[in-house]
Amino acid sequence: MSAQNKKLESDKIAIVTGGSRGIGRNTVLSLAKRGVHANFTYHTRNVDAETVVAAVKDAGAKAISLQLDAGNIASFDAFVESVKAALSMLGAARFDFLVNNAGNSHRNMPFEKTTEEELDSIYNVHFKGVFFLTQKLLPFINDGGRIVNISTARTRISWPGGSAYASMKGALEVLSKHMANELGPRRIAVNVVAPGAVATDFSGGIVRDNPEVNKRVAEATALGRAGVPDDIGPMIASLLSEENRWVNAQRIEVAGGVVI
């Protein structure tokens, strides 16, 4: 990244949901290295969030952690008030980037065994929550800002046990195109980043901690391994940067060439 573009990004503010762990954490830290401050959310593990705040400070930026249940739509009005207070602490009334990353573990959910409760849980976090949280935050996004919605390679690949999760992410990808169109007059770009299998604690850490699953992912990937958070966070930060200002309404798979 050029010094000029880093200066353009310096002191911008991002909101990253699910920013205390995994891909979200790496995204917050990757943005901090570019001088971008962050308000990021955590669900229950405040200790994890505080370690991210400290790491962002070490990188020379500022971060504020906010508690959020991304599937509890009724809590969003109160969350917006928290965002307004956090922005004020950063000396701002608006922010520049929104990364809808928060997710809930789905593990293996075969179609014929998925319950209504399980489907609703995934729907609330991965689609309905993104829809209404973005809607609530729109008045506070600067014109010319950018939104990244996190999807999955599984919208392209049929993998056993993923019907509910992949379907909600597929809906999110369609939503993102419509958002890009409707927010165009405000020059707000909306894109989708679709990671492949990443070695984090998501879904019980199945890719990270299960050697057999990790091996199967590696064998199915052209670059020969499962992904890690550091493969994804810098890419998201780059997509939000001035270098990619003309990228809009795109689904970008970041998966090392899985099942090609």
Which pLDDT does position 209 carry in this prediction? 59
Which distant-in-sequence residues (6+ apart) come within 8 Å of 216 by Cβ?
Answer: none
The answer to whether residue 9 scores a pLDDT higher than 80 is no
What are the pLDDT digits (tens) for 198-235?
Answer: 987 765 566 765 778 899 889 999 999 999 999 999 99
Give the per-residue pLDDT at 247.
Answer: 98
Distance CA 58, CA 144 (A): 29
What does DSSP say about strands 95-100 and 13-16: parallel, antiparallel, or unpaired? parallel
**Contact between 121 and 73 (Cβ < 8 Å):** no
Q: Out of 40, 79, 165, 202, pick the active-site residue.
A: 165
- pLDDT the model gives residue 211: 77
Q: What is the mean pLDDT of residues 98-103?
A: 97
Mean pLDDT value of segment 162-180: 97
pLDDT at 124 over 90: yes
d(CA 33, CA 159): 35
Return d(Cα 66, Cα 70) in angstroms, integer: 11
Q: In this structure, which topology does domain 3-254 adopt according to CATH? A: Rossmann fold (3.40.50)
Mean per-residue pLDDT for 17-44?
A: 97
Nearest in space to 198 (alpha carbons), one of 186, 190, 189, 207? 207
E strands, 114-222, are 141-150, 189-195
How far apart are alpha carbons 122 and 56 in whole angstroms? Answer: 30
What are 13-27's pLDDT values in tens digits?
A: 999 999 999 999 999
* Residue 213: per-residue pLDDT: 83
CB contact at 8 A, 26 and 233: yes
Quote the strand ranges of the chain, DSSP E.
13-16, 37-42, 63-67, 95-100, 141-150, 189-195, 251-254
Catalytic residue status for 123: no
Residue 151 has pLDDT above 70, yes or no: yes
Question: What integer is the mean pLDDT of 130-144?
Answer: 98
pLDDT band, very low/low/confident/very high, at 8 (cuts 50, 70, 90): low
Poorest-confidence range of 11-20, 59-68, 180-189, 207-216?
207-216
For the chain, give the percent of residues with pLDDT over 90.
Answer: 83
State both tokens at 231: 């493969």
Average pLDDT for 40-44: 96
How far is Cα 24 from Cα 248, in angstroms, rounded to an integer?
A: 21
Is 70 exceeded by the pLDDT of residue 5? no
In order of 15, 139, 150, 232, the CA distances from 195 in angstroms are 19, 29, 8, 7
Residue 192 clears pLDDT 90, i.e. is over it: yes
pLDDT band, very low/low/confident/very high, at 1 (cuts 50, 70, 90):
low
pLDDT of 137 higher than 60 = yes
Across all residues in the chain, what is the average pLDDT? 93
Q: Which of 146, 167, 98 is nearest to 243 (CA)?
A: 146
Q: What is the pLDDT of residue 7?
A: 47
